[in-house]
Every structure is written in C-alpha cells, then in structure tokens.
Amino acid sequence: RDEFGRLLERERISSNEHLTRAILRERAATEEERQKAQRFAKQLEEKDRELKKHDAYYKEQLARLEERSAQFYKVTTEQYQKAADEVSARFKRYESHPICADLQDKILQCYRQHAQETLSCSALASQYLHCVNHAKQ
C-alpha cells in the first residue's frame, strides 16, 4: 500500500507538472496573442492618423483649387463683359429710318400706274430728290 500511495503521489505530481506546463504554455500563447493584437491596434491607429492627415491635406488642396477656380471665373467674366461692352460701344447699332419714305411710296405707286408714261411721275421724283438732298444736310 505504501508503494501504491507513492506511485499515486508521483502520478499526481507528474500530472500537476504537465498541467502547470500546459497552463504556462497557454498563458504565453495568450500573452503573445494579446501583444500581437496591441501591435495591430497601434498599426491601425497609425494608418487612421495617416488617412486623416491625407484627408485634411486633400480637403485643403480642394479648397485652394475651388478658390482659384472662382477667381479665374470672376476675372474671365469681368474680361468678357469688358470686351463685350467695348465691342458694343465701338460698333454701336444705329437705328436707321428710311428718309422720305412717303414720297418713295408715292413714286413707286406712280411708276406702277404709269408704266408707259414715266415722265408723268417726274414732279414726284423731283420732290423726292429735293427731300433726300435736304436730309443729307
């Protein structure tokens, strides 16, 4: 019985040692996983900071480009308006009204009525010529 008790005691001690080693291995593996997770978390945070930095940079660049574009648009619009005003002033449209239009109509009507006797319209033609010469002055 003594020997059996010692054998049982050795088995128990051996079993405890195996269990202790397994627990230590498991703790080491758990600690390694925890450290790996921390490293990944730090890398992720670093990437996040980097992305935020890039985002801020590109937003700033976009704002600058939009500002410059607005300035170019304003300058271009002003230059276009100035050029349009200059062209409009230089080549002003003049309204022209036919001079002596009533006499012109009367002469044409007379020529139609007296197609074979155009000299009968000479008094009207003379009045028309006088009106035109007077308008030129």
Place of tokens 């271009």: 76
Of 46 and 93, the structure prediction assigns the larger pLDDT to 46
Question: pLDDT tens digits, residue range 7-57?
Answer: 888 899 999 999 999 999 999 999 999 999 999 999 999 999 999 999 999
> What is the length of the chain?
137
Q: How many CB atoms lie within 10 A of CB 64?
A: 10
Over range 91-95, report the average pLDDT.
Answer: 73
Q: How far apart are CA 137 and CA 133, in angstroms?
A: 7
Over range 68-90, report the average pLDDT.
Answer: 94
What confidence score (pLDDT) does residue 99 get? 87
What confidence score (pLDDT) does residue 44 get? 98
What confidence score (pLDDT) does residue 136 get? 86
Instruction: Give the orientation angle of helix 122-136 with respect to helix 101-113, to 10 degrees.
Output: 160
pLDDT at 61 over 90: yes
Nearest-CA neighbor of 105 among 132, 128, 135?
A: 128
Confidence of residue 6 (pLDDT cuts 50, 70, 90): confident
Nearest-CA neighbor of 98 among 132, 61, 59?
A: 132
